[in-house]
Amino acid sequence: MKKQPFIAFPSPAKLNLFLHIVGRMDNGYHQLETVFQFLDYHDTIELKVTENKAIKLLTPIPGVNNDDNLIVKAARLLQSAKHCQQGAEIKLEKLLPMGGGLGGGSSNAATVLLALNALWKTQLNTEQLAELGLKLGADVPVFIHGFSAFAQGIGEQLTPASPKTYWYLVSKPNCSISTQSVFMATNLTRDTPTIRYSDDDIENYHNDCQEWVIKNHPEVAKLLAWLVEYAPSQMTGTGACIFSRFSSKQDACYVQSLLPNGIESFVAEGLNQSPLHAAVAAVNDN
């Protein structure tokens, strides 16, 4: 039998260009309005199909049990949904910081669902994959669909959007923030009025989580205060990463060179189409 190769797929970061919390449902979930945009900066997931059902993550993340990793959960979820008899060996090259608000775990799950759906030939369509992905996290569907979007509900109701693309300096202070800790906070703003979204008005919107985070995480507050002296800057998601907007890569890299010691950072361009989908299409074409 011919030995199967590993095939690499990008697992991109996302930004929440703003994040409004407009209500809370009886089940505790928050009703959001946000715009997702992708970045040309990503983890890389390599997959190899096996003829037994085992799902093996060959590159464990320190401190995360493999069975709890969204990568493994996504593979098993698809396998179970389609009664697939094949398995996979998986390698992860991790670049996206954890606890940063860049959607790394959700992106990893979406990459695995899309890629294994192609490799295993399980033939789920995008809507079906997004429905599966929602079981793993509210941000997974936007990575499955692969286009920038105005999102409502818990983040799963997506309307295609075309926000302006900038060069971004993404900076992370030396802390990680639990999404759960932010959304459980009693004094979090939860009554921002709903909007009629327009790509042209995006710079007038804000992140409702930012005020709570900077009050409770001085590292974020200090870095944000430093960055806004150089460029429009705000937190993405529930933090801790902050994105600063520039018209050129050169300008973004210059401010990156000035960052205080100990700040993790990268420069990337905004994308309104996920790079993952081209990689999956190449598999489907073979």
Query: What are the per-10-residue average pLDDT scores of the chain (286 residues)?
Result: 83 98 92 97 98 95 92 98 96 93 96 98 97 96 98 95 97 92 94 94 93 96 98 96 98 98 96 96 86
Question: From the candidates 43, 73, 82, 139, which is the catalytic residue?
Answer: 139
Alpha-carbon gap, residue 248 to 175, rounded angstroms: 28
Q: What is the pLDDT of residue 203?
A: 86
Class of the CATH-defined domain 1-286: alpha beta
Q: What is the pLDDT of residue 176?
A: 87
Alpha-carbon gap, residue 205 to 210, rounded angstroms: 12
Q: Is 14 a catalytic residue?
A: yes
Question: From the candidates 14, 73, 82, 172, which is the catalytic residue?
Answer: 14
Q: What is the pLDDT of residue 1?
A: 46
Q: Is 139 a catalytic residue?
A: yes
Alpha-carbon gap, residue 126 to 31, rounded angstroms: 23
pTM here is 0.95
* Per-residue burial over 167-182, b = 16 or more CB atoms within 10 Å of its CB, e = otherwise: bbbbbbbeeebebeeb
For the chain, domain boundaries: 1-286
